[in-house]
Amino acid sequence: MPHSRRVLLLEDDMSIAIVITAALEDEGFAVVHCQTIAERDRQLAEHGFAAFVTDVMLPDGDGIETIGRVRALHPDMPIVILSAQNTLDTAVRATDTGAFEYFPKPFDIDELARTVRQAAGATQSQLEGEEPVADGLPLVGRSTAMQSVFRMITRVLRNDLTVLILGESGTGKELVAEAIHQLGNRRSGPFIAVNTAAIPAELIESELFGHEKGAFTGAVARHVGKFEQAAGGTLFLDEIGDMPMQAQTRLLRALQSGSVRRVGGREEIQLDTRIVAATNKDLEPEIAAGRFREDLYYRLNVVPIHMPPLRDRRDDIDVLARHFLQHAANEGLPRRQLTAEAAELLSRQPWRGNVRELKNFIYRMALLAREDLIDVDQVLPLLTPEPTATATGMGEDADHGASTSGPAHAPGDIAAAVAQWLSATRPASGTIYDSAMAAFERPLFAEVLKETAGNQLRAAQALGINRNTLRKRLGELSLDPEEFTRRP
């Protein structure tokens, strides 16, 4: 058989090798199977192959580290890498070899067979020649959902395509942006992060694009904007869904032209930065409502990366919890460990605030636990707040205005209130969600401000949002924190 239909498989697990061989033979390939790197090298020295499928951890070495020897013999042969070490570091190492594709185990055998078929038809696989990236990367997770994220990250590391990261608050969108920067071609340049929701609407253009001296009242000197500050690196635009419409127009123009003009200036400044944007909003309804530009959406949504909520990656909660305990110890908190039962208990919690909520809980647990080995009995009290804390959400004393009546029956009360509100307001179809959020948000913020005596820092912490976002929403809701300040 000509080598164009022959595939070399390096896999020391016979059960996996049998399944792969059967799938590839169904595709019309002849599979040559070997179990060691030494056998691989002998086969490659004597024969040509249409593609090479290899595991990483092998009896006589690391399959990725020895890819150089494969390239020396067959520089154009496409390589597909399989690995049970399902970390971002492994995915990046695989990509840096110029691999045609990387599959974390367990994988979809049909997808693997399709990929090998595509690889066999490829004429060239480029060698990147980058040195392996060190471990210690910011993203953690071995779930199927996170493996999809890792694979998408590796596909954008060797180009400057615009990336849009989508996901709920607390899922780690900024960590993805940092990983793309740290592992990509622009890692020697700056990483500039901008929370577009935290900048007042009247200042956002100046912050992003800069301004010239005298451009407006108070512009006493030239200001270099974030686009220029990120030259040679990456500009991360967080909460892009909250950007004012006028700033969206300027951003679109910058992306289209590849240049910016400072406010009050005439010079066109050429851009040399990668754009990564993120939002926790579904932008398509925002477009339909006229709050987000459709043309800007398509400019940003070149490569979408969807961050899964923690409820969709429960297998990662154990490893995340231990990861955060290690970080807490590195930051000066007591060094703690989890029992298997305690970790299993954590994996059953809802974690509506996603990874951010889990991290904050783990740090609190590291601080307050009675023993270095944390068991279920130490976790449960932290998961179940005291009655006063449940009532207020902030743990305020009853003397400070805490309500102890409603929350005990909150689920029923809320359900009744929702039914009553729907009956009374009858919002138009397609607007119910936005109308409900608008109706609920103002009294919620008002109650939290009352319980925190108008303290915005404590209110933001209680709500689980940053203070700038709180300040912005209070202005939009016409809520003055001063009105909630307790006076003697």
Assess if residue 212 is contained within a domain: yes
Among 66, 98, 121, the domain-final residue is: 121
Is-contact 40 54, C-beta < 8 A?
yes
* Cα angle value 179/181/182 (rounded, 5°): 65
Rounded CA gap, 337 and 341, in Å? 12
Assess if residue 148 is contained within a domain: no
Is-contact 256 299, C-beta < 8 A?
yes
CATH of residue 322's domain is 1.10.8.60
**CA torsion, points 343, 344, 345, 347, in degrees to nearest 10?**
90
pLDDT tens-place string over residues 454-464 = 888 788 878 88
Which residue range(s) make up the domain with 440? 397-484
List average pLDDT for each run of 10 residues in the chain, which is 488 residues long: 78 90 88 94 90 92 89 88 84 83 86 85 38 48 85 89 95 93 90 88 83 74 86 95 90 90 83 95 93 95 96 92 90 90 92 93 92 91 56 38 37 64 70 74 85 82 79 79 66
444 CA to centre of own chain: 28
Reduced to 3 states (helix: H, G, I; strand: E, B; else coil), residue 52 is strand
Co-location of 293 and 343 in the same domain: no
Closest CA to 255 of 295, 315, 308: 295
Is-contact 388 404, C-beta < 8 A?
yes
The pLDDT, as a whole number, for residue 197 is 84
The pLDDT, as a whole number, for residue 486 is 57
Co-location of 57 and 198 in the same domain: no
Rounded CA gap, 205 and 191, in Å? 19
Co-location of 234 and 342 in the same domain: no
* Cα angle value 93/96/100 (rounded, 5°): 100
What global pTM score does this model have? 0.58
Co-location of 273 and 183 in the same domain: yes
Co-location of 301 and 315 in the same domain: no
Rounded CA gap, 65 and 19, in Å? 25
The strand pairing partners of 195, in sequence order, are: 238
Is-contact 179 88, C-beta < 8 A?
yes
Assess if residue 203 is contained within a domain: yes
Three-state helix/strand/coil letters over 285-335: HHHHCCCCCHHHHHHHCCEEEECCCHHHCHHHHHHHHHHHHHHHHHCCCCC
Rounded CA gap, 226 and 211, in Å? 11
CATH of residue 407's domain is 1.10.10.60
Full strand arrangement of the beta sheet holding 101-104: 30-34, 6-10, 51-54, 79-83, 101-104
Co-location of 292 and 325 in the same domain: no
In DSSP notation, 328-388 reads HHHTTSPP-EE-HHHHHHHHTS--TTHHHHHHHHHHHHHHH-SSSEE-HHHHHHHHS--HH
Rounded CA gap, 459 and 473, in Å? 12
The pLDDT, as a whole number, for residue 221 is 81
Assess if residue 144 is contained within a domain: no
Co-location of 274 and 407 in the same domain: no
The pLDDT, as a whole number, for residue 487 is 47
Closest CA to 137 of 95, 101, 87, 173: 87
Rg (CA), the chain: 27
Among 354, 384, 414, the domain-final residue is: 384
Among 327, 350, 384, the domain-final residue is: 384
The pLDDT, as a whole number, for residue 137 is 53
**In Å, what is the CA distance from 146 to each residue of 86, 140, 353, 368?**
9, 8, 17, 30
Is the Cα dihedral 303, 164, 313, 153 positive or negative?
positive
Assess if residue 200 is contained within a domain: yes
Is-contact 153 66, C-beta < 8 A?
no
Q: Write out the H or E segment, with its range, that includes residue 269.
A: strand 269-270
CATH of residue 260's domain is 3.40.50.300
Rounded CA gap, 464 and 170, in Å? 9
Rounded CA gap, 45 and 378, in Å? 60
Rounded CA gap, 196 and 467, in Å? 14
The pLDDT, as a whole number, for residue 394 is 42
Phi, psi dihedrals of residue 231, rounded to the nearest 5°? -55, 130
Q: Which residue has the tokens 């023993």?
A: 371
Name residue 444's amino acid: L
Co-location of 300 and 318 in the same domain: no
Paired sense of beta strands 101-104 and 79-83, if any = parallel
Co-location of 264 and 317 in the same domain: no
The strand pairing partners of 103, in sequence order, are: 82
**CA torsion, points 152, 157, 158, 161, in degrees to nearest 10?**
70
Reduced to 3 states (helix: H, G, I; strand: E, B; else coil), residue 191 is strand
The pLDDT, as a whole number, for residue 413 is 60
Co-location of 185 and 279 in the same domain: yes
**In Å, what is the CA distance from 298 to each residue of 262, 284, 459?**
25, 11, 36
Q: Write out the H or E segment, with its range, that includes residue 176.
A: helix 173-183
CATH of residue 45's domain is 3.40.50.2300
Co-location of 316 and 276 in the same domain: no
Assess if residue 134 is contained within a domain: no
Co-location of 186 and 302 in the same domain: yes
Assess if residue 188 is contained within a domain: yes
Rounded CA gap, 162 and 198, in Å? 22
Assess if residue 146 is contained within a domain: no
Full strand arrangement of the beta sheet holding 274-279: 191-195, 234-238, 274-279, 163-166, 303-306
- Name residues whose C-beta falls within 8 Å of residue 245's C-beta, 6 or more positions apart in sequence: 291, 293
What total of structural domains would you count in the chain? 4
